[in-house]
Amino acid sequence: DFSRRSGDKSSPPSVAPLALDPPDLSDKKGSSYADPALQGDMRHLALEGVEEENGEVQQMHEKKTPSEASEDSSIGGLNSDPTDSKTLQEQMDELLQRCFLHALKCRVKKADLPLLTSTFLGSHMFSCCPEGRQLDIKKSSYKKLSKFLQQMQQEQIIQVKELSKGVESIVAVDWKHPRITSFVTLEPVQEGSREQPYHPPDIKPLYCVPASMTLLFQESGHKKGSVLEGGEVRTIIINYAKKNDLVDADNKNLVKLDPILCDCILEKSEQHTDMKLPWDSLLTR
């Protein structure tokens, strides 16, 4: 009768609980709204309406195709975290922005400018990447560092110039830009090798006193086998020449060679000749 028909139409079961509890779908007492096939059809129609209104399904918050959305409704997709719907590309874009702002706020100083963009990436941005994450620009929507930095330049955060052909450098940074001043690091800055920019090792050539030069170096307190830096050798030779009055009186750029210096630096063919050498030649030998 009329009352029974109107009663069946009232208070239909909610879709989400039925979707989360598959056994309820087999309940014959449920209304037609409990039919998963009809649910899918209705979901599809709803998405098509959005498609006509907005032009493309991608504008929806969940960014799902109709088939994906209907699948989500059957596994509780409606209750999922909105951040889960971000694509890998969007997540990489966010990481790229984060490392960029972190590097400018905490790593780069005005004295570092101009800074090669490749150095900025390798020494600063990579070191700002959170533990467990990997920064890969190719997986972002920008694909290339240069394209990303152009976007940051358009936002007037930095200024990039090609100081030499094919090589770009960051020449200016607006540290008062709101995006930099408002940026907050999500974890405390840790002092460690991962956080520090790479510095190449400091390589110094060292010189070992040979047996033939022991007399020359013994006055300065060194023995055979003593290890000296180039600057130390230079200072010792200069002091030796001045102390032993070997600087030529007429031309202070020339040094007279005493027997010890002769034994140390002259070839056999040059021996027994009264020689004077310029400072640079003496020190080079």
- Between 36 and 117, name the one with better pLDDT: 117
**Fold (topology level) of 88-182:** Arc Repressor Mutant, subunit A (1.10.10)
> In this predicted model, what pLDDT tens digit does every residue of 122-180 receive, in sequence order?
999 999 998 889 999 999 999 999 999 999 999 999 999 998 888 999 999 999 999 99
- Report CA-CA distances (Å) from 230 to 73, 221, 226, 244, 280: 76, 16, 13, 21, 13
The DSSP annotation for 116-128 comes to EHHHIIIIIIGGG
Give pLDDT, residue 259. 85
Q: Are 33 and 13 in contact (CB under 8 A)?
A: yes
Statement: residue 115 has pLDDT above 60: yes
Give pLDDT, residue 125. 93
* pLDDT level of residue 268 (50, 70, 90 thresholds): confident
Give pLDDT, residue 16. 53
Statement: residue 100 has pLDDT above 90: yes
Instruction: Over range 49-74, report the average pLDDT.
Output: 45
- Edge to edge, what strands does the sheet with 167-173 contain? 115-116, 167-173, 158-164
The pair phi, psi for residue 159, each rounded to 5°, is -125, 125
* Residue (of 118, 125, 135, 119) closest to 101 by Cα position: 125
> In this predicted model, what pLDDT tens digit does every residue of 171-211 receive, in sequence order?
999 999 999 999 987 655 444 445 567 788 888 889 999 98
Instruction: Over range 27-56, report the average pLDDT.
Output: 49
The pair phi, psi for residue 158, each rounded to 5°, is -135, 170
Sign of CA dihedral 115, 119, 123, 127: positive
Give pLDDT, residue 165. 86
Give pLDDT, residue 273. 67
Give pLDDT, residue 28. 45
Residues forming beta bridges with residue 172, ordered by sequence position? 159
Long-range CB contacts for residues 210-219, cutoff 8 Å, separation at least 24 = 212/263, 212/264, 213/264, 215/260, 215/263, 215/264, 216/240, 216/260, 216/261, 216/264, 219/243
Statement: residue 221 has pLDDT above 80: yes
The pair phi, psi for residue 277, each rounded to 5°, is -120, 145
Give pLDDT, residue 44. 52
Q: Where do you find CATH 1.10.10 in the chain?
A: 88-182
Give pLDDT, residue 118. 92
Q: Are 90 and 80 in contact (CB under 8 A)?
A: no
Tokens standing for 54? 């907005």
> Which residue bears the tokens 């102390």?
243
Cβ neighbours, 10 Å, residue 39: 19
3-state secondary structure of 225: coil
Q: Where do you find CATH 1.10.245.10 in the chain?
A: 206-283
Q: Looking at the structure, give the CATH architecture of the domain made up of residues 206-283.
A: Orthogonal Bundle (1.10)
> In this predicted model, what pLDDT tens digit does every residue of 236-257 receive, in sequence order?
999 988 988 889 888 888 988 8
* Residue (of 226, 83, 96) closest to 149 by Cα position: 96
Provide the mean pLDDT of the chain. 76
